[in-house]
Structure 1
Amino acid sequence: MRVSADRLHLVRHGEVHNPDHVLYGRLPNFRLSADGRVMARRAAEYVHGLGRPVGALVCSPLQRTRESAEPFTELFGIEPRVDERVIEPTNVFEGRRMSRALRNPLNWRHLVRPSVPSWGEPYAQVAARMDDAMTEAWNLTAAGDVVVVSHQLPIWVTHLAVAGLPFRHDPRSRRCGLSSVTSFERRGERWVEIDYVEPASLSGAVDVGAV
């Protein structure tokens, strides 16, 4: 008899220590701030509070997602499996402050096709790799829920893909707060989004640097 998971939660990492307010992308050594660790813990406590067993934990290889997965390991007793497919997308503005980069006319060529987007990894490619990772985790989990700790853009384009919405969007309009939890179920061959919560909102949290 085929077995699989029951529910899948895409969890965004917590606040990052980013004093220079750069777009950090895939750069190394961007760790969680002290508040970010609190937020990651609250996200894990929220999922734990659902009273549902978790059979698998997946995270991106970046430091901030590994650290955000730690409270899930503590509460559920499972080690994360690192999956490159749930990593942050590439972006030509990585390491820069966006407010400064956009004032330079030499950078405007990267903005000509926002629907792709022309400044980084295509949205469709991000959505496809996320779907592959989610489907594999779902099918390889014998029972219980799956937690995938990822990043804002991969989670948001997954939401758009599942909802059947265009990928083109204003990055400022994304509904994907720090340490938010977006939950899905699998019905037949398609994903269905069933919930979105922000269990870890902190006043004054700094949410800059997402690609």
Structure 2
Amino acid sequence: MPANLIHLVRHGEVHNPQGVLYGRIPGYHLSELGHKMAEVAADSFEGHPITALYASPLQRAQESAQPWSDRFGLDIVTEDRIIEPTNKFEGKTFEFGPQVLLRPQSWPWVVNPWLPSWGEPFASVADRMLAAIEDAWSNADGGEVVMVSHQMPIVMVQRYVSGRRLPHDPRKRRCSLSSITTLERRDDVFVEVGYSEPAAALLGQAADFGAV
């Protein structure tokens, strides 16, 4: 029996005192606040029939999935297709945005922001995310499925299912730390039916650095 709902959960705050654009660099784990955010997100779904739990292989996603595993008694299934995209700014310590133009060595990377030229194409991210969501939906034993992922992949799904163009300004994404984007299958397509920020009260204390 397919799932009733798919919940895309973003990880909590990452311990990143140097302000590195960490991307897929290993070893970036949740901060103490990030663990609290992840717990709040899982607690907000008390009473929901969660029947499957997936997470990106990156440490911050696996740690953010753990409270869901503990609360609902589910194993975490590692899903490579919902990982953070690759990008050429990994390891840098400057905020992505117009100031990139002040760094001539970065110019070749930003020649096509609509692709984008600095990393995995938006369309590729959307395709792999939707394929993973489709499989999770069809393989579920009814109920609701949680998939813990990252900001850009979740935003790609949000934009795709709403019919918006995938290119966008990374600084204007609607996908806060530990936010939850909910999808429902209607006929042959997924539609967004909910967005919540259960850790909203903690966001003022959090650092959310490095959107690319």
**For 2:171, what is the secondary structure of its paired residue?**
helix
Deviation at 1:210, TM superposition (A): 3.4
How far apart, in 2, do the equivalents of 1:132 and 1:12 lie? 18
SS in structure 2 opposite 1:64? helix
2:87 paired residue number: 91
* 1:6-30 CA distance string (max 9 Å, x none): 1000000000000111110000000
Report the equivalent of 1:42. 40
**Equivalent position amino acid for 2:208 in 1:** D
**Partners of 1:134 and 1:44 in 2: how far apart?**
19
Classify the secondary structure of the residue corresponding to 2:15.
Answer: coil
- C-alpha RMSD of matched pairs (Å): 1.2
Q: Which stretch has the larger CA shift, 160-169 or 91-100?
A: 91-100
Aligned to 1:75: 71
- Residue equivalent to 1:122: 121
For 1:142, the equivalent position in structure 2 comes to 141
Uncovered stretches (5+) of structure 1, i.e. residues with no partner: none
Map residues 51-200 of structure 1 onto 2, 5 A cutoff: 51-99=47-95, 102=100, 103-200=102-199
| TM-score for the superposition, normalised by structure 1 | 0.95
Aligned position for 1:5: 3
- 1:63-83 Cα offsets, whole Å, 9 max, x none, are 000000000011100011001
Q: How far off is 1:99 after superposition?
A: 3.9
Partner Cα distance (1:5, 1:172) in 2: 32
TM-score when scaled to structure 2? Answer: 0.95
1:129-150 Cα deviation digits (max 9, x unpaired): 0000000000000111000000
Cα distance in 2 for residues equivalent to 1:85 and 1:200: 25
- % same residue: 50
Name the residue aligned to 1:23.
21
- Give yes or no for contact 1:24–1:210 (8 Å, CA) kept in 2: no
Report how many residues are paired: 207
What residue number does 1:209 align with?
A: 210
Cα offset, 1:98, TM superposition: 2.8
